[in-house]
Amino acid sequence: MQAIFGQLLVGLINGSFYALLSLGLAIIFGLLGVVNFAHGALYMVGAFAAWMLLTMFGIGYFPALLLAPAIVGVIGVVLERLLLRRLYGLDPLYGLLLTFGLTLIAEGLFHQAYGNSGQSYPVPELLRGGFQLGFMYLPLYRAWVVGVSLVVCAASWFVIEKTKLGAYLRAGTENPKLLQAFGVNVPVMFTITYGFGVALAAFAGVMAAPVYGVTPLMGSSVIMVVFAVVVIGGMGSIAGSIFTGIGVGLVEGLTRYLYPEASAVVVFVLMAIVLLVRPAGLFGRER
């Protein structure tokens, strides 16, 4: 019983990362209709940005938690303005190919510069130590990851579902032309949305740096699972991606307890089942 609690808790920690990443993907897909394959790469760039801020400028973890997403957000805005913009209205495959290409370029550059073994990023002084929960020892930093992710996810959900800005966003998802006819500057909204989506990825990257280290391929190892999460949750569903992200983490944790060898596959099995039974995803709507 102790073991199962431990695995579920570890699952919850991983699930928090999945939720943060799939949330950004879902927002971008929902509004722009772009399958942002570069999400994993930008998560990696976020982690590297934090590492560079620390090693080159001596800027610590907490400022980096804001600065790195801001930097990556700006990169995202530039990418959207220069490249992605040209592909709206075309088949989503084009966006996927473009962002996939960007991923390869980004990974290649960092790979060339820093090699594969990665850089280590220390856990901030304030968040060292941990709690003895009886069934396991929970490091403080991991608890912080879960807490902060939940807060960020909840805040994003609140903004999108309950505020006027969010209402515009949702209207843009439904019918961008009509929204523009009402005098809303939809292209700018698209740019901001993409910037925000990738900033979330970078935020997750900074959070991940002290746990997983900073490596050029950290994005590709997580992006597949995150895509599966988005598919299970229903492409473009905000709340769906958050719940599914955490849920998938827990299912993984449970599998590690029951049948460890399957833990890497279980997400995709789940995805296949969901696609068969509910092709639009658990929280998605048929269009």
Partner 1 sequence: MNRIVRIVLPAALLALAATASAQAPAKGKLTDGVVKIGVLTDMTGYYADLAGPGSVVAARMAVEDFGGKVLGQPIVVVSADHQLKADVASNTARRWFDQEQVDAIVDLVSSSTAGAVMPIAAEKKRITLLSGPGTTAFTGDKCTGYNVHWTYNNWALANGTGREVVKQGGESWYFVTADYIFGKSLEEDTSRVVKSAGGKVLGAARHPSPGTTDFSSYLLQAQSSGAKIIGLANAGADTVNCIRQANEFGVTPKQSLAGLLVFITDVHSLGLDAAKGLYLTTSFYWDLNDETRKWSKRFLEKHGKMPTMVQAGVYSAVSHYLRAIRAAGTDDADAVMKGMKATPVNDFFAKNGRIGPDGLHRHDMYLVRVKAPKDSKAPWDYYEIVKTIPAAEAFPTVEAQACPLARK
The footprint of partner 1 (CB under 8 A) covers: 2-3, 6-7, 10-11, 13-14, 111, 115-118, 120, 123, 130, 132, 136-137, 139, 141-142, 211-213, 215, 218, 221, 253, 256, 260-261, 263-264
Q: In 84-94, which positions are buried (b, 16+ CB within 10 angstroms) versus exposed (e)?
A: beebeeeeeeb
39: nearest Cα among 218, 212, 249 = 218
In whole angstroms, how close is the CB of 70 to partner 1 at the nearest point? 26
Report d(CA 39, CA 20) in Å as an integer: 11
In whole angstroms, how close is the CB of 250 to partner 1 at the nearest point? 12
Measured from the CB atom, the residue of 12 and 75 that comes closer to partner 1 is 12
CA–centroid distance for 80 within its chain: 18
In whole angstroms, how close is the CB of 257 to partner 1 at the nearest point? 8
Measured from the CB atom, the residue of 10 and 271 that comes closer to partner 1 is 10
Measured from the CB atom, the residue of 166 and 213 that comes closer to partner 1 is 213
Determine whether 2 is exposed, middle or buried from the number of CB atoms within 10 Å of its CB (0-12, 13-18, 19+).
exposed
Measured from the CB atom, the residue of 82 and 116 that comes closer to partner 1 is 116
Measured from the CB atom, the residue of 10 and 19 that comes closer to partner 1 is 10
- Contact call for residues 40 and 229 (beta carbons, < 8 A): no
- Contact call for residues 99 and 219 (beta carbons, < 8 A): no
* Residue found by looking up tokens 């901001």 in the block: 192
In whole angstroms, how close is the CB of 154 to partner 1 at the nearest point? 24
In whole angstroms, how close is the CB of 263 to partner 1 at the nearest point? 8
Report d(CA 166, CA 169) in Å as an integer: 5
Measured from the CB atom, the residue of 60 and 130 that comes closer to partner 1 is 130
In whole angstroms, how close is the CB of 69 to partner 1 at the nearest point? 21
